[in-house]
């Protein structure tokens, strides 16, 4: 109920004072200028610091409607809280150092002086932090017109009872401050007192580090909203980075172990990291499942509704899967409290440079799109493209992968494929087998034709329709050539070619039909013969 009241008052605070401003500027400038708060910057007071432990989600709601000037005031207020918390941590660390000095010295007087200095520094830092927090809470209460301490009391309490409750709260705060550094025992030695104070300093240090982390988170929410509205937040964030984390003194084993153990069991340390890692892993697993299911659904739709090529289906489904995985990974990084905004901004800023540097890749990308649109081949087709003959295995928007017949995997750029002739060898279900047999001039060509026809009729893989063609078509220099053109299913093309060739050769050998090799007749004349002929011609 308490935060509901705060949110309702926030709405009234943020929007009601701005209504006259909006109306005035709309009248004078037609709403062209951005409405600014009618309240001067020096008169603005913070109100989100009314509760330094306000939940993060509620703080995000509260800062969203604020203007740049108002957010600057809120950022300064949270920065003061963080700075004082950093001072308290520094004082606690200094206290550990002073207690170590007291433990290591043999002079009791010097040890007591070190302990007094440590206690004094811690009390001063605690007092400053408390005063700052009370001041900011008071300003926020005045700004919102509420008194959280009174509202928190029971409704049926009288004024006297409420006053008593406030005094009890103040008294408990003073008691808590006193308990941070307990007074030395009467009969204890300086060394024992120093050990007790050191342990208390270390415990207090872990608690202060948790509180510092919580304040840093709240300041970061205000800074994020301020940056979105044009504010300069670089100095604040540098300070947050400078004071964050834990510092371990390796020269002090007990302090180091206490710091590690305290970080592991702390709510803002080990527990928070464990929870974040768990969310990171869970997000990745869920993303992987969603990507797998999503790509499967897309593939099912493409197969049954759109009916694209398998190559396009694989590419589209894999692309969707990769996009889902990329988005999921970015979301998972936010679970680890990694800010992905600078990464995305850097990618956008370097997009033009990358585009110029990858002109060849973009050309391959365009060629890949053209291949997908025109569909000259699909997965499993035997293709001659880009100077490569092989089976198409897969394709992306940059290259196509072929598996050659001697089991080589070759990646061919899509640009080389699209800009050259593409021959799809297995695109059709039926192919013609082109064969040619040569016989000698002394052999019976009609008998040879009959033998070839018989071989084709006996082969079960040769199709009857279309009918095969066997005909003598050329009288070559040293042979008579007979053309054989049977038809076969595409998957049987190679079997038909080899089987028919082997059987024709065997039948020709049985029939005594020769297959001549190229030959030439060379006539040699002697010099005497040529001289005699010339003399005869001269006498005539």
Over the stretch 2-47, which tens digit does the pLDDT of each residue have? 444 444 444 444 433 433 333 333 333 333 334 344 455 556 788 8
Q: Does domain 359-424 have CATH number 3.30.499.10?
A: no
Q: Which residues contact 147 (CB under 8 A, 6 or more apart)?
A: 141
Q: What pLDDT shows up at residue 139?
A: 79
Mean pLDDT of the chain: 76
Q: Tokens 């440079």: give the residue.
A: 353
Q: Hey, what are 259's tokens?
A: 């710091």
Is 287 or 335 the better-scoring residue by pLDDT?
287
Is 397 or 53 the better-scoring residue by pLDDT?
53
Q: What pLDDT shows up at residue 181?
A: 43
Rounded distance between C-alpha atoms, residue 82 and residue 86, angstroms: 6
Kindly report which listed range (68-72, 368-372, 431-435, 463-467) carries the lowest average pLDDT score.
Answer: 368-372
Rounded distance between C-alpha atoms, residue 63 and residue 224, angstroms: 10
Rounded distance between C-alpha atoms, residue 409 and residue 403, angstroms: 5
CA distances from 103 to 107, 189, 194, 197, 296 (A): 10, 10, 6, 11, 69
Q: What pLDDT shows up at residue 383?
A: 92
Q: Where are the domains of the chain?
A: 39-268, 273-349, 359-424, 431-511
Kindly report which listed range (16-25, 388-397, 498-507) carries the lowest average pLDDT score.
Answer: 16-25
Is there a contact between 294 and 320 (Cβ–Cβ < 8 Å)?
yes
Q: Which of 442, 66, 13, 10 is nearest to 226 (CA)?
A: 66
Q: Hey, what are 441's tokens?
A: 């001039």
Work out the burial of residue 117: count CB atoms within 10 Å of its CB; fewer than 13 is exposed, 13-18 middle, 19 or more buried. Answer: middle
Q: What pLDDT shows up at residue 158?
A: 42
Q: What pLDDT shows up at residue 411?
A: 92
Q: What pLDDT shows up at residue 347?
A: 65
Bond before 466 cis per omega within 30 degrees: yes
Q: Which of 132, 139, 138, 45 is nearest to 85 (CA)?
A: 132
Q: Tell whether the model's pLDDT for residue 48 goes beyond 70.
A: yes
Provide the pairing of β-strand 399-403 with 388-395: antiparallel
Q: What pLDDT shows up at residue 484?
A: 95
Average pLDDT of span 400-416: 91
Q: What is the largest CA-CA distance in the chain?
A: 164
Phi, psi (5° rounding) for residue 464?
Answer: -80, -30
Q: Which of 297, 330, 331, 290 is nearest to 316 (CA)?
A: 297
Q: Hey, what are 104's tokens?
A: 């290591």
Kindly report which listed range (153-162, 195-204, 238-247, 376-385) carries the lowest average pLDDT score.
Answer: 153-162
Q: What pLDDT shows up at residue 432?
A: 94
Rounded distance between C-alpha atoms, residue 441 and residue 8, angstroms: 111
Rounded distance between C-alpha atoms, residue 195 and residue 507, angstroms: 109
Phi, psi (5° rounding) for residue 17?
Answer: -65, -20
Is 523 or 254 the better-scoring residue by pLDDT?
523
Average pLDDT of span 265-294: 83
Q: What pLDDT shows up at residue 153?
A: 38
SS3 call for 387: coil
Kindly report which listed range (21-25, 299-303, 482-486) carries the lowest average pLDDT score.
Answer: 21-25
Is there a contact between 219 and 79 (Cβ–Cβ < 8 Å)?
yes
Q: Tell whether the model's pLDDT for residue 164 goes beyond 70.
A: no
358: confidence class by pLDDT, cuts 50, 70, 90: low
Is 256 or 391 the better-scoring residue by pLDDT?
391
Handedness of CA 442, 447, 453, 457 (dihedral sign): negative
Is 115 or 511 the better-scoring residue by pLDDT?
511
Q: Tell whether the model's pLDDT for residue 447 goes beyond 90.
A: yes
453: confidence class by pLDDT, cuts 50, 70, 90: very high
Q: Hey, what are 484's tokens?
A: 């054989």
Q: Tell whether the model's pLDDT for residue 502 goes beyond 90.
A: yes
Q: Tokens 């391959």: give the residue.
A: 364
Average pLDDT of span 195-212: 79
Q: Hey, what are 190's tokens?
A: 């300086």
Q: Tokens 């078509």: give the residue.
A: 473
86: confidence class by pLDDT, cuts 50, 70, 90: confident
Q: Tokens 């890749």: give the residue.
A: 361
Which range in 157-171, 268-282, 453-467 is most confidently predicted, on average pLDDT?
Answer: 453-467
SS3 call for 202: helix
pLDDT tens per residue, range 100-139: 777 777 777 777 777 788 788 888 888 888 888 888 888 7
Q: What pLDDT shows up at residue 469?
A: 93
Q: Which of 136, 143, 127 is nearest to 6 (CA)?
A: 143
Is 163 or 374 the better-scoring residue by pLDDT?
374
Q: Which CATH number fits domain 431-511: 1.10.760.10, 3.30.300.30, 3.30.70.100, 3.90.1200.10?
A: 3.30.70.100
């Amino acid at each position: 109920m308490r935060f509901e009241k705060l949110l309702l008052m926030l709405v009234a605070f943020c929007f009601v004072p701005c209504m006259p401003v909006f109306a005035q500027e709309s009248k004078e400038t037609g709403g062209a200028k951005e409405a600014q708060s009618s309240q001067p910057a020096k008169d603005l007071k913070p109100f989100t610091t009314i509760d330094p432990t306000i939940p993060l989600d509620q703080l995000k709601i509260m800062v969203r409607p604020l203007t740049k000037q108002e957010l600057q005031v809120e950022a300064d207020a949270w920065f003061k809280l963080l700075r004082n918390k950093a001072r308290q941590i520094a004082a606690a660390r200094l206290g550990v150092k002073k207690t170590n000095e007291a433990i290591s010295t043999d002079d009791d007087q010097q040890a007591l002086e070190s302990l007094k200095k440590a206690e004094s520094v811690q009390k001063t830092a605690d007092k400053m932090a408390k005063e700052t927090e009370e001041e900011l809470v008071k300003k926020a209460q005045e700004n919102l017109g509420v008194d959280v301490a009174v509202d928190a009391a029971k409704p049926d309490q009288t004024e006297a009872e409420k006053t008593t409750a406030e005094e009890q709260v103040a008294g408990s705060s003073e008691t808590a401050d006193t308990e941070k550094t307990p007074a030395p025992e009467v009969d204890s030695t300086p060394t024992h007192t120093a050990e007790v104070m050191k342990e208390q300093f270390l415990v207090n240090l872990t608690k202060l580090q948790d509180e510092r982390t919580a304040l840093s988170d709240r300041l970061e929410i205000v800074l994020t909203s301020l940056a979105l509205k044009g504010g300069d937040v670089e100095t604040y964030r540098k300070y947050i980075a400078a004071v964050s984390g834990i510092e371990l003194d390796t020269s002090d084993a007990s302090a180091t172990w206490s710091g590690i153990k305290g970080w592991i069991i702390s709510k803002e340390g080990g527990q928070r990291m464990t929870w974040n890692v768990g969310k990171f892993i869970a997000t990745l697993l869920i993303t992987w499942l969603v990507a797998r299911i999503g790509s499967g659904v897309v593939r099912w739709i493409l197969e049954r509704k759109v009916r694209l090529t398998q190559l396009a289906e694989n590419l589209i489904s894999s692309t969707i899967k990769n996009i889902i995985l990329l988005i999921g990974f970015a979301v998972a990084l936010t679970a680890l409290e990694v800010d992905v905004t600078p990464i995305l901004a850097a990618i956008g800023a370097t997009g033009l440079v990358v585009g110029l540097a990858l002109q060849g890749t973009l050309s391959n990308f365009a060629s890949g799109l053209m291949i997908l649109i025109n569909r000259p081949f699909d997965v499993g087709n035997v293709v001659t493209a880009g100077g490569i003959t092989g089976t198409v295995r897969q394709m992306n928007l940059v290259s196509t992968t072929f598996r050659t017949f001697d089991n080589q995997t070759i990646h061919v750029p899509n640009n080389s494929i699209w800009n050259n002739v593409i021959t799809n060898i297995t695109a059709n279900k039926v192919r013609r087998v082109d064969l040619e047999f040569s016989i000698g001039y002394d052999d019976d060509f009609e008998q040879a034709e009959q033998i070839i026809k018989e071989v084709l009729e006996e082969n079960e893989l040769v199709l009857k329709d279309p009918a095969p063609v066997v005909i003598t078509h050329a009288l070559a220099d040293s042979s008579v050539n007979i053309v054989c053109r049977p038809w076969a299913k595409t998957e049987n093309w190679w079997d038909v070619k080899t089987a028919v060739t082997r059987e024709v050769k065997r039948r020709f050998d049985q029939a005594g039909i020769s297959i001549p090799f190229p030959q030439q007749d060379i006539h040699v004349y002697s010099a005497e013969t040529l001289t005699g002929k010339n003399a005869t011609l001269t006498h005539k």
